[in-house]
Amino acid sequence: LITNKKLEPSLCSIFDCVNGLKGFLTLGKELLLLHELEENGVWKKLLKSDYEVGLSEFVTHFANVHSDFRKQLFENIVIFFKKHYVGQINSATVVLAALVGRCKDDTEFLTAIITHLLPRCTYKEARVRKQALIGLANLKDSYTDELESKAPAILSCLTSAIEDQDEDVAAQGLRSLTAILDVFSIKTVQPTLINIIFRTKPFMDSTSDGMREGSFALFGGLTRFGVDDYSHNFVEQIHSNMVGLICHSNDPNDAVSQASMDAFKKIAAYLNNQSLIDALNESGIGKANYLSLISKLAPILVVDFKDNMTTYLHAVISYMDSRWGEIKGNSVLLAAKLIQALPVETRQTLDVDAVVAEILKQLSSKSARVRQRTAKALSFLTKI
């Protein structure tokens, strides 16, 4: 696969290459390795267009069986970064990405691999960039404090990757950044904490399901770093994104709904608000659970976070312009529930009339479901 000169060679060439590799291992009497590869279906995966999955697994099994040959493999692979064929560079990147997770016992070796992976994160071909980002994510299994000097460069690389023009690469950037946050020290991440949130926030409403899912997962993972001098600003960002978390718990995509709910639970724990924790633990995601969820949440938000009501109401109005009818309906219902839960004296200090006016506008929506949910929302306000 390394010698292929095209990113996606013909099936005939791939078949010959895989058979040659299998024959080579057979001649070398690599019975254990052959068994592992066959048992895990690696040969079949190598024949697919996304052969990177199979190649990564091949390298992982090879490194497990022959850990003493990892450096020799590395030395022979990095040569191909000097080539001009994308297929060679892509395959070489996959190999190094797989080796990352198998080098915890050798920091110097791991550092050398990272040094080669970082430039690939900005390579001209999206497929190569994605594989390099996967490699950085694999650091979660091999990261040690001795790599602290490399951490800022890795963090900067991953933060930039989430804004990649290729959605698949950007989504991988989000996944990789979320993964690496589990092992990075607090002092490494804190200086860029708010910057990461600002750069991530637009993707919470991305048209890409993967980007939305990754954004919420990342936001939940950032709670570990919102401490000490950074707690105030981080809490502000939580309240700024609170409505988004709630509305997307009933996202058009179930995986996004789950990511939003998981992030919300981490945030509730971070805020140390038992009422919020209990409400979320008692609730599910999706259409069937949304009304029950906001009925529990609204009174908590109104009482425990009353100073943020203006922020919440501005946010629900903003979400009434969502591209998704389901999210529009979510925001309308949430707005009504928040107003319903407000004490009379608090209601008089807020521009509730403006919010109600925006709710009424949704009665003219082209979507029957939005109109139906708007009518439901207005029913909550009949006694207001």
Token pair in block for residue 317 = 């109005």
Please give the Cα distance from 98 to 73 (Å, whole number): 12
Report if residue 250 sits inside a domain: no
Q: Can you give the pLDDT at residue 2?
A: 46
Range of the domain at 343: 273-384
Task: List the Cα angle 296/269/216 in 5-degree steps.
Answer: 85
330: left (phi over 0), alpha (psi -120 to 50) or beta: alpha
Report if residue 24 sits inside a domain: yes
Residue 4 banded pLDDT, cuts 50, 70, 90 = very low
4 SS3 class: coil
CATH code of residue 336: 1.25.10.10
Residue 14 banded pLDDT, cuts 50, 70, 90 = confident
DSSP string, 80-97: GGGSS-HHHHHHHHHHHH
Residue 10 banded pLDDT, cuts 50, 70, 90 = low
Report if residue 100 sits inside a domain: yes
Report if residue 23 sits inside a domain: yes
Which positions ≥6 away from 75 have C-beta within 8 Å? none
Q: Can you give the pLDDT at residue 174?
A: 96
Which positions ≥6 away from 14 have C-beta within 8 Å? 1, 4, 46, 47, 51
Q: Which of 181, 171, 136, 135 is nearest to 154 (CA)?
A: 136
Q: Can you give the pLDDT at residue 384?
A: 76
Query: Which ranges of 40-143 does DSSP label H, i.e. alpha helix?
Result: 42-46, 52-65, 70-77, 86-100, 107-120, 126-137
Report if residue 228 sits inside a domain: no
Report if residue 13 sits inside a domain: yes
Query: Of 114, 134, 160, which marks where a domain is finished?
Result: 114
Give the residue-averaged pLDDT of 1-15.
54
Please give the Cα distance from 266 to 289 (Å, whole number): 19
Residue 9 banded pLDDT, cuts 50, 70, 90 = very low
> Which tens digit of pLDDT belongs to each residue from 220-236?
999 999 999 999 999 99
Q: Can you give the pLDDT at residue 11?
A: 57
Q: Which of 355, 347, 346 is nearest to 374 (CA)?
A: 355
Q: Which of 89-93, 237-241, 347-351 has the weakest average pLDDT?
A: 347-351
Mean pLDDT of the chain: 93
Report if residue 91 sits inside a domain: yes
Query: Domain tally for the chain?
Result: 2
Q: Can you give the pLDDT at residue 5?
A: 45
Query: Of 96, 114, 132, which marks where a domain is finished?
Result: 114
Task: List the Cα angle 65/66/71 in 5-degree steps.
Answer: 145
Residue 375 banded pLDDT, cuts 50, 70, 90 = very high
* pTM of the shown model: 0.87
Report if residue 215 sits inside a domain: no
Please give the Cα distance from 222 to 150 (Å, whole number): 20
283 SS3 class: coil
352 SS3 class: helix
Give the residue-averaged pLDDT of 96-108.
91
Length of the chain: 384
**Residue 104 or residue 192, greater confidence:** 192
**pLDDT reading at 267 higher than 50:** yes
> Which tens digit of pLDDT belongs to each residue from 171-209?
999 999 999 999 999 999 999 999 999 999 999 999 999
Q: Can you give the pLDDT at residue 83?
A: 82
Query: Of 98, 114, 130, which marks where a domain is finished?
Result: 114
Give the residue-averaged pLDDT of 15-38.
90
Please give the Cα distance from 96 to 60 (Å, whole number): 10
